[in-house]
Structure 1
């Protein structure tokens, strides 16, 4: 095997006559990511301790850089929990109210959006038009959050009356990042760094801005094209930060997960808002809160999770708060979606209890 890194606790040692160890079983689940292919990093945490911490394959096929626990992957929509947390921090500070209309900061949005509130954006209840579907032909370069606003200013309609239904909205989360900027007076990337990443010692996590910041230990995205892996690291929407622009690692995300159990970042009431179901989604088994999807498992109880899919990356974080168990799977390839992989890894541990 090529470029396989591991750190495990005693819980991962071989069980002797009881069969293959949990580590061996995880390696089998992740077999397709190992070797001279786009890779993955996997972390299973229980009670704040790493049970499985393992990386597979390559972070960059061009340089043959191996994936490691410190490798930073573009999180895609896993970013949304950080965008939501930023808004909740500003609400804690008394600088905004969740029921404020977004017209307070975006007076040039058309009348069809007048009833949309911050709370609607957080839970995908806004009905905003998907900006990806209406990019004007003259916008040929990479888009930023401010470009999303410009596009939405031309759309005097919504999919439904705000608050009346659910539709997943990258548009809404781009606007949330802009609200953070207009309320705090700082760029979204700076706010994240100063209010979340630095306090939690997520030292290599960054909302990446080309020409402004650097991604340390960077993984590059890949897609399988005509039977071979090709670098597909960026799309036209990859520079939009609020809906998916953060790069992070399993090492740094362990600190994020730990902070979600106490008040070092968000208060009890803010965490309750983040984790309490607000709406049903288009999947009857899944509800949405604020930056988190919620399901209920027969084994493990309630789960808080979010996946992220973008050009060349597929990621997921799945938390079982009743069990103090979290599984994170980050990958730099376009397929497969790793949610079921993370659940399978969690299931291995839950069965051992």
Structure 2
């Protein structure tokens, strides 16, 4: 269902006019602040967005985006999304399928022929749904690796591994490497590099002007949050790791203001067709051993009528949880190593649902 233009305009106006909470029912600004108290003050912070029918019920920042500079976290602060990025990588592949540039049932070796023979049965759909059986590239790196790897380096690592965890399509194993390969395939199928494609086909059309697939020395992140970790009782900056430059599995930076525009686009066909959204937002690969997950779609975990994804990386923990049938969404982005905020997002949702 397309959100009417008048409602969308009101949504965007509300996003920039609303600085705190406009609560309904039992929720109050104080109740949100109580839940977020650990993120308040001179500590690594968080931002919270709660949307109903496209309207912000909560749009709020807590704590600091940059402890060194004392910069506060605000709704316009851009956080490294980590694995929340996967929904954009998946959308890029789906867009190319809609364009007729590729098929989700293409063998991965059609696009990346340097992969070993063991990858013959793997399709793009297997990559999207974590059903490929690929070896985890993180386990192929030296434990003390400090030099950053990129998506192409992931391919080179997997070229040497003529083995899989399981026959493709028969099981589920979360694979960051699969999404690094998907980013490379976006480049090959589109004739553009991944960062350019998502900027031109997703971010610009939606007005996500400050969202970027970040490449050091090539692009910049405005209003940037820096990651932190608690070490011996003190917060220290831990913003980058050896895997932070891999784009397809987690390299996108965005803000809750931009993610509100992304959320709105997931209700209609301005990017993805009704059929493709139905596939992306439904169980394509069942998951039997995880809590609050029935299976994986294309870049989304699915649990009943809920779709969500978390993102965990060096110095950042994030989550987006959507209830599409209710037109209700909660997003929490944080620039600290702990805790993972899924349960916090669910508590926030309970105040409004």
Q: What is the CA distance between 1:279 and its match in structure 2?
A: 1.8
What is the TM-score of this pair, normalised by structure 1? 0.92
Which residue number corresponds to residue 172 of structure 1? Answer: 178
Matched, 1:294 2:302: yes
Alignment partners' CA distance in 1, 2:145 and 2:35: 42
Q: Deviations over 1:6-32 (max 9, x none)?
A: 6246435xx8xxxx7422111100000
Q: What is the CA distance between 1:322 and its match in structure 2?
A: 1.2
Q: What is the CA distance between 1:295 and its match in structure 2?
A: 1.0
5+ residue gaps, structure 2, are: 1-16
SS at match of 1:256: helix
What is the TM-score of this pair, normalised by structure 2? 0.92
Which residue number corresponds to residue 101 of structure 1? Answer: 107
**Counterparts in 2 of 1:232 and 1:123: CA distance versus 1, 3 Å:** same
Which residue number corresponds to residue 77 of structure 2? Answer: 71
Contact 2:149–2:242 at 8 Å: present in 1 too? yes
1:51 to 53, 57, 64: 57
SS at match of 2:338: coil
SS at match of 2:197: helix
Which residue number corresponds to residue 135 of structure 2? Answer: 129
Q: Deviations over 1:30-51 (max 9, x none)?
A: 0000000000000000000000
1:11-90 matches, cutoff 5 A: 11=23, 21-90=27-96
1:251-290 matches, cutoff 5 A: 251-281=257-287, 282-283=289-290, 285-286=292-293, 287-290=295-298
Contact 1:124–1:168 at 8 Å: present in 2 too? yes
Alignment partners' CA distance in 2, 1:102 and 1:315: 30
1:237 to 203, 220, 243: 243
Count of aligned pairs between the two proteins: 335
Contact 2:21–2:60 at 8 Å: present in 1 too? no
Contact 1:235–1:311 at 8 Å: present in 2 too? yes
SS at match of 2:248: coil
Alignment partners' CA distance in 1, 2:21 and 2:131: 43
Q: Deviations over 1:127-162 (max 9, x none)?
A: 000000012589751000000000000100000001
Contact 2:21–2:29 at 8 Å: present in 1 too? no
Q: Deviations over 1:287-334 (max 9, x none)?
A: 1111000113xxxxx111000000000000000111100000000000
Contact 1:8–1:50 at 8 Å: present in 2 too? no
Deviating beyond 6 angstroms after TM superposition, the runs of 4 or more aligned structure 1 residues are none
Which residue number corresponds to residue 202 of structure 2? Answer: 196
Alignment partners' CA distance in 1, 2:243 and 2:226: 16
Alignment partners' CA distance in 2, 1:219 and 1:9: 22
SS at match of 1:11: coil
Which residue number corresponds to residue 152 of structure 2? Answer: 146
1:304 to 304, 307, 313: 307
Which residue number corresponds to residue 7 of structure 1? Answer: 19
Which residue number corresponds to residue 5 of structure 2? Answer: none
